[in-house]
Amino acid sequence: MEKFNYSDQIVTIDDRHEVIIPGGRIETIAFCIAQFIRLASHCIHQRGYFAVALSGGSTPEEIFRGLSGEINRYKVDWERVILFWSDERSVPPDAKESNYRMAMDAGFSTLPIPEDNIFRMKAEEEPERNAKLYEKLINEKLSGAPLDFVMLGVGQDGHTASLFPKTHALHTSEDRLVVENFVPKIDTWRMTMTYTCINAARNVAIYALGAGKAEILEKVLSQPFDPDTYPIQGVGTPENKALFIVDEDAAVRLKKSSGFPHSNA
C-alpha cells in the first residue's frame, strides 16, 4: 500500500490485512473517494497512468457517483486513467446486473476517459476464451506491470470479486490472472481476477460498510487462514497487505481491545 498521511490510522490485523475505520458511512465513503484521488494523482505523477480495477457492489457505486460528481470530477486527470474490472456477471453490457453498466451509469460514462482505455470483461459468452483474452489484454496494456489499484467488496459469505467459497477459481495455476468461474450457489458463470492478479496490484482496498457486514468481517479477521471457506482472506500478502476500509456499523464486532483509531481522509 502506498503510504499517505493517514497511515498512522491503520491497524495491522495479521500478516496480510490492515484495517482503517474512518467513521460513519458518510465519512468512510468520503475517505474512499479521497483515497482514489490521491492514488490516481500519485500514480499518474510517478508513471504517467493510473490502472484501476473496478468492482461491482453497492459501496463502489457510491464511490463512483462521488468521483464523477461536480465536487470531485476535476481532481483526477481522467485521460490518463485505464479502467479494468475485477469481476463481471455473465450478462451483456446493457443489462442492469452488469458491473460495467453500473460504473457507467454511476457517472463514469460522463468522465473524459478515452474509450480506448476502458476494458470491460466480456463474460456473457465464451467465458473461458474471453478470460484468457482479458488476461492477455492486461499484460499487453500494462506491459507486464501490475495494476495500480484494485477496488473490492466482500460478500456476507466471504466472497470477493467473483472468488466464491469452494469454487474452482480459488485453485487456478499461479500464472492465471483472469478466469471463468462457475458458482453453484447462484447457478451461474462469472469472470473474475485471480489471487495472482489481485495480490500483485500496488494497492488493494476492500470496502466493508454497513451493519450487514459486521458478522463476516469479524469472522474473516479472526478465524484461521482458510480462503477456501472465506475467499477474502486470500487477498493481501505479507509484502503487500490489503486494506479493509470499514465504517463504524460494520466494525461493531471487531475486538474493542484492538484500539482502532478513527480518522478523516
**Least Å from the CB of residue 112 to ligand 6PG:** 25
Write down the residue that cell numbers 479472526 correspond to: 222
Single out the residue of 63, 8, 55, 53 nearest to residue 30, CA to CA: 63
Nine cell digits for residue 263: 480518522
Residue of this chain nearest to ligand 6PG (CB atom): 153
* Binding site residues, ligand 6PG, CB under 6 A: 55-59, 87, 99, 153-155, 159-161
**Least Å from the CB of residue 124 to ligand 6PG:** 14
Smaller CB separation from ligand 6PG, 153 or 202 = 153
Smaller CB separation from ligand 6PG, 72 or 192 = 192
Smaller CB separation from ligand 6PG, 10 or 216 = 216
DSSP 163: B
- Three-state SS for 227? coil
**Least Å from the CB of residue 216 to ligand 6PG:** 10
CB of 6 within 8 A of CB of 176? no
**Least Å from the CB of residue 17 to ligand 6PG:** 17
Write down the residue that cell numbers 486513467 correspond to: 81
DSSP line for 110-179 = GS---GGGB-----SS-HHHHHHHHHHHHHHHHTTPPPSEEEEE--TTS-BTTB-TT-GGGG--TT-SEE
**Least Å from the CB of residue 57 to ligand 6PG:** 3
Smaller CB separation from ligand 6PG, 80 or 203 = 203
Smaller CB separation from ligand 6PG, 59 or 72 = 59
